Amino acid sequence: MPVALATPSGGPLYRVARPPDPLAWPARRFIGGSRFDDPLDQFRVLYLAEQRRGCFVEILASFRPDLQLLARLQAVRGASGTMPSTIVPADWYASRLVGQLRLEPGQRWLDLRAPETMQALRTEMADTLVRLGLPDLDMSAARGPSRDLTRQIARWAFERGIRGLAYRSRFADDLDCWAIFEGAQFTAIGPPQPIAWDDVDMTAAAALFSLVIDRA
């Protein structure tokens, strides 16, 4: 069974990143740590979302308090206690822009949202799965926290001429994300836009995680 290939919607993909160009490939000193980064550090990756809100959901998730802190607070406050809110500082959104791009046609994109892709990768990457100590491969594993696995999936795709991949956010099933590999062809749409403190998509993402946006 072959893997499924994703078809871009034709609409924009969104990226939130630092100025001056949020669509620029990241500096090489910063690569290697993200979900679908190349384990050999030979190509760079841009992370985007089909929905503008998806960018903020993916990024603001990192502001959530870690589980150990939550467990300690819960032990002190009890089940009925109110947890303190985490602040998204004003200098975070003030130092970022929203860029938009459209993928050029004629490129191949791996669809990690498709069940046939999971079954094909389960066979194709069996030796890698065993080496990583994984009992199986399914949707949850492919978009989950095991970055050793997700980076190997990216490498497998890159070596077969695939220019990136589409996947669903692990925080919300209705959000579609894309990781595009260095060398993929795209066209920027308009100038990048600043982020206001009351940005509707940022505030929606913050509300999902019970975060508070600091107003400068």
Question: What tokens does 178 get?
Answer: 């894309």
Residues 105-133: b if buried by 16+ CB within 10 A, e if exposed: eebebbbbbbeebbbbbbebbeebbeeee
185: left (phi over 0), alpha (psi -120 to 50) or beta: beta
Residues 4-56: tens digit of each pLDDT: 999 998 899 999 999 999 999 999 888 888 999 999 999 999 999 999 999 99
pLDDT of residue 95: 97
pLDDT at 140 over 90: no
pLDDT of residue 83: 65
pLDDT beyond 60 at 84: yes
Looking at the chain, how many residues does it have? Answer: 216
- For the chain, domain boundaries: 13-213
